[in-house]
Amino acid sequence: MSGTRVACLIVPSFPLAARLRGEPETRPLALLDGPRNAPVVVALNEEARRAGLRTGLSLPQARSLLPGLEAKPRDLEAERGAREALLEAAAASSPVVEEGGLGLLYLDWTGMGDERSLMRSLTGACLRAGLPAQVGVAGGRLAARLAAPNGTVVLPGEDAWFLAAQPGARLGLSEEAATALSRWGLYTVGAFAALPAGEVEARLGREGLELHRAARGLDDRPLIGVRGVRVPREGLELDWVVADLEALLEAASRPLARLAARLAARGEACRALTADLSLDPVGKDQRTVSLAAPSAELKTWLALLRLEWSERPPSAGVTGLSFAAEPVKARRTQLGLFGPAAQSPDALAGFLVRLSALLGPRRLGSPRAVDSRRPELFDLSPYAPPPPPEETTSDRALSRGSAASEAVGAAEPDERLACVPRALRPPVELEVLVEPEELRPLRLSGGDIAGAVQSAAGPWRMEEGWWNDVPEARDYWDVGLSDGGAYRVFRDRRSGRWYADGIYD
């Protein structure tokens, strides 16, 4: 790749940088990762490093060395947002950006002019995104990466010379290759590069050979550009617990504003906003607020979130927030010239957004049965209007007819369903005269229902929800009344009240 110039952009201790994005921490701080019961230190800020800590320690070990150490877990959401911001900054400086690892990007700077000035502008862009970055430039990736920590520009043709003195541990090898080199006693890149290439290939295979070439300053593989981010995400972890709705919305507005700005720049809107809340002390609260129609308006998002969280507040104080916006291109729909007069989808969507912002997200949708023995229970699924039907002659005739047209397409009545009750919604409260021992209904009245009980089957007992605050316990009866009517009635065993909730007709 003669004449090729590669810049390497590194954010040191990327997980920590992402965690602290824009919020400098002056106390000694360690970032933890690993199994929940035994996390280890994966990144340290300067203050902690100065106190003699190193990565790989367990938290007790680290605290035994530095009792006042602040420790935070890795924040993957913050890292995701930071990565996206880093990619955007890099993309503004080079047409081809390759991702080399966590907080590590390679940029094609071939023929880009003043490399020093480019370096300054790139680090400046990163810093504005809250990410302190280091940039190195060389003829190949390995040299550029090893040059970055000191902001070195390796002159063309000097990669091999530059690499020779570098410690082997900085090669960034696979575990297997690192083990092999350490067992072989090769402690500098130069020592490895000095091995005969054929012997290296015979022992370490293609991977070893490629590494050996890189160690010799040879890098002829073109950069592979990374794809853009589909679902943008922004978030932050709070250092305090937020239990108040207003404070929560205030905290949310910062990442949401970043998100809205990014979406707008992409010419996209959001059709569903997923909010992930970290709860105190543990636990997550995830909810997705579907927007009835795409929107990139911060105000609408906040209104929806306000309703969502005020209706169903998080079960504990919030320690972190993260938002993902499901993007969609703005809808452009052409109505049929000869179709029935239908609502414009855009207008409908706008209406639904406003309506759900007014009512709350869980109060608008299509009803859906739930798995329960309580017949009155139902849930809502998102309202998705079907496309306007294809216009036919008969349809047109029907559309001029009566409301009975709604029955079109319904199945023929099934004889087996003859005894299925029709639900009375809401249930009708009854006054009931009962036989004292078994509480069998003898006479009942309420609403339009009244009469002596001619026949009664039951009680059919239903008990559900002992795990909830208000469990249900009902004794159902199927009753035939003197007027010929047949009803499904029940006695609420907790209150002793009677209701009719179905009619057999």
Instruction: Report the distance separating Cα 366 and Cα 261, nearest Å.
Output: 32
CB of 60 to another protein, least distance (A): 6
**Taking CB under 8 A as the criterion, which residues in 365-404 touch another protein?**
370-373
Question: Residues in contact with another protein, total (CB under 8 A)?
Answer: 49
202 binds another protein (CB under 8 A): yes
28 binds another protein (CB under 8 A): no
**Pick 253 or 372: Cβ nearer another protein:** 372
The answer to whether residues 13 and 100 touch, using CB atoms and an 8 Å cutoff, is no
Among 316, 355, 450, 503, binds another protein (CB under 8 A): 316
**Taking CB under 8 A as the criterion, which residues in 457-476 touch another protein?**
457-464, 466-469, 475-476
175 binds another protein (CB under 8 A): no
Instruction: Report the distance separating Cα 209 and Cα 221, nearest Å.
Output: 13
Among 111, 113, 114, 282, binds another protein (CB under 8 A): 282
Instruction: Report the distance separating Cα 105 and Cα 103, nearest Å.
Output: 7
**Residues paired with residue 326 on neighbouring β-strands, in sequence order:** 272
Q: Sketch the per residue contact string, 419 through 458, with another protein: x for CB under 8 A, - otherwise.
A: --------------------------------------xx
**Pick 167 or 389: Cβ nearer another protein:** 167
Cα 168 to chain centroid distance, Å, stands at 39
Instruction: Report the distance separating Cα 59 and Cα 65, nearest Å.
Output: 10
The string of DSSP letters for 65-89 reads: H-TT-EEEE--HHHHHHHHHHHHHH
Pick the piece of the chain touching another protein (CB under 8 A) from 97-105, 196-204, 407-415, 495-503. 196-204
Residue type, 263: L
Q: How, if at all, do strands 422-435 and 440-446 pair?
A: antiparallel
Residue 163 in tokens: 């690499």
CB of 69 to another protein, least distance (A): 12
211 binds another protein (CB under 8 A): no
Pick the piece of the chain touching another protein (CB under 8 A) from 91-99, 188-196, 257-265, 342-350. 188-196
Q: How many CA atoms lie within 13 A of 438 on its CB side?
A: 11
55 binds another protein (CB under 8 A): no
194 binds another protein (CB under 8 A): yes
Type and span of the H or E element at 193: helix 189-193
Picking from 263, 188, 257, 208, the residue whose alpha carbon sits closest to that of residue 230 is: 263
Residue type, 420: V
**How much of the chain is helix, strand and coil, in % rounded to 5?**
35, 30, 35
Residue 162 in tokens: 């530059």
Instruction: Report the distance separating Cα 38 and Cα 40, nearest Å.
Output: 7
Residue type, 74: R
180 binds another protein (CB under 8 A): yes
Pick the piece of the chain touching another protein (CB under 8 A) from 142-150, 202-210, 216-224, 248-256. 202-210
CB of 495 to another protein, least distance (A): 18
**Pick 26 or 37: Cβ nearer another protein:** 37
Among 184, 222, 224, 376, binds another protein (CB under 8 A): 184
Residues of the shown chain interacting with another protein in the complex, contacts defined by CB under 8 A: 36-37, 57-58, 60-65, 180, 183-186, 194-196, 199, 202-205, 279-284, 316, 370-373, 457-464, 466-469, 475-476, 478
